[in-house]
Amino acid sequence: KYGLDIYAPVDHKGRFTGEVGDELAGKFVFDANADVNRMLKRAGALLYESEIAHSYPHCWRCKKPIVFRATNQWFFGIDHASLRKRALEEIDRVQWIPSWGRNRIYSMIEHRPDWCISRQRFWGIPIVVFYCKGCGEPLISANVISHVAYLVEQHGADIWYEWDAGRLLPEGTECPNCGGEEFEKERDILDVWFDSGVSHAAVCERNPQLSWPCDLYLEGSDQHRGWFHSSILTAVATRGRAPYKAVLTHGFVVDGQGRKMSKMLGNVIPPEDVIKRYGAEILRLWVSAEDYREDIRISDEILQRLVEAYRRIRNTFRFLLGNLYDFDPRRDAVDDGELLPIDRFALYELNRLIDKVRRAYESYDLHIVYHALHNYAVNTSAFYLDVLKDRLYVSAPNSRARRSAQTTLYRILSAMLRLSAPILSFTAEEVWQLLPGDKPESVFLSQFPDPDPAALPDEEANRWYELLRIRDEVLRAMEMRRKEGLIGNSLEAIVDIRAAGWAKELLEEFSSDLWEIFIVSEVNLVDMIEGEGIVRGEDVPEVEIRVRRAPYEKCPRCWVYSPSVGGNSEVCARCQAVLEEMNAT
DSSP letter string over 164-198? -HHHHSPTT---TTT----EEE---EE-HHHHHHT
pLDDT the model gives residue 267: 80
Taking the C-alpha atoms of residue 488 and residue 191, their distance in angstroms, rounded to an integer, is 74
Please state the rounded mean pLDDT for residues 227-250. 96
What pLDDT shows up at residue 265? 79
Which pLDDT tens digit goes with each residue over 123-133? Answer: 899 999 999 99
- What pLDDT shows up at residue 285? 94
What residues does 244 pair with on adjacent strands? Answer: 214
Q: Tell me 292's DSSP state.
A: T
127 three-class SS: coil
| Mean pLDDT, rounded, of the chain | 94
Q: What are the phi and psi torsion angles at 31 (to 5°)? A: -75, -15
pLDDT value, residue 256? 83
According to DSSP, the residues that pair with 547 across neighbouring strands are 495
* pLDDT, tens digit (0-9, with 9 covering 90-100), for 96-105: 999 999 999 9
Specify the 3-state DSSP secondary structure of 13: coil
pLDDT tens-place string over residues 200-211: 999 998 888 999
**Nearest alpha-carbon partner for 420 in 268, 313, 576, 334:** 313
pLDDT at 173: 93
**What's residue 263's pLDDT?**
80
**In the sheet that 130-132 helps form, which strands lie side by side, from edge to edge?**
138-139, 130-132, 183-185
Name 414's Cβ contacts closer than 8 Å, sequence gap at least 6: 435, 439, 449
Residue type, 86: R
d(CA 427, CA 437): 19
Q: What are the backbone dihedrals phi and psi of residue 472, each rounded to the nearest 5 degrees, phi first?
A: -60, -35
Is the pLDDT at 261 greater than 80? The verdict is no
CA dihedral in degrees (204, 207, 210, 216; nearest 10)? -20
Least Cα distance to 404 among 339, 463, 462 occurs for 339
pLDDT classification of 567: cutoffs 50, 70, 90: confident
- The DSSP annotation for 490-535 comes to GGGEEEEEEE-HHHHHHHHHTGGGHHHHHTSSEEEE-S---SS-EE
Pairing of strands 522-525, 493-499: parallel
For residue 101, the model assigns a pLDDT of 93
- Which distant-in-sequence residues (6+ apart) come within 8 Å of 423 by Cβ? 284, 285, 288, 366, 369, 370, 373
Name, in order, each residue with C-beta under 8 angstroms of 331's C-beta and a sequence gap of 6 or more.
none
Query: Which pLDDT belongs to residue 6?
Result: 84
**Average pLDDT for residues 421-435, to the nearest whole number?**
97
3-state helix, strand, coil in the chain (%, to 5): 50, 10, 40
Alpha carbons 382 and 489: distance in angstroms, whole number: 15
Sequential DSSP letters for 531-546: SS-EEE-SS-TTEEEE
What are the C-alpha distances in Å from 541 to residues 36, 249, 498, 538?
95, 49, 11, 5
Query: Helical H runs in 55-120?
Result: 83-91, 100-111
For a pLDDT cut of 90, what percent of the chain falls above it? Answer: 84
CA distance 457 to 443: 29
**Is the distance from CB of 251 to CB of 221 less than 8 angstroms?**
yes
Per-residue pLDDT reduced to its tens digit, 385-427: 999 999 999 999 999 999 999 999 999 999 999 999 999 999 9
Query: Tens of pLDDT along 499-555?
Result: 999 999 999 999 999 999 999 999 999 999 887 889 999 999 999 999 999 999 999
Q: Does residue 67 or residue 417 have the better pLDDT?
A: 417
Selection from 129, 203, 581, 140 nearest residue 397 by Cα: 581
7 pLDDT more than 90: no
Structural domains in the chain, CATH included, are 1-70 (no CATH), 300-445 (1.10.730.10), 483-551 (3.30.2320.20)
Q: How far apart are CA 141 and CA 131, in angstroms?
A: 12
Distance CA 204, CA 211 (A): 6
Give me the phi and psi of 463, to 5 degrees please: -70, -35
Contact 234, 278 (CB under 8 A): no
The whole-number pLDDT of residue 113 equals: 94
Residue 271 CA to residue 444 CA, distance in Å, equals 24
Averaged pLDDT for residues 54-68? 91
pLDDT of residue 531: 79
Quickly state the pLDDT bin for 253 (edges 50, 70, 90).
Answer: confident
**Residue 171: is it exposed, middle or buried by C-beta count within 10 angstroms (0-12/13-18/19+)?**
exposed
Over residues 283-291, mean pLDDT: 92
Higher pLDDT, 259 or 198: 198
Report the percent of the chain where pLDDT is more than 70: 100
Identity of the residue numbered 580: E
pTM summary value = 0.81
Going by pLDDT thresholds of 50, 70 and 90, the confidence category of residue 213 is very high
State which H helix or E strand residue 374 sits in: helix 366-382
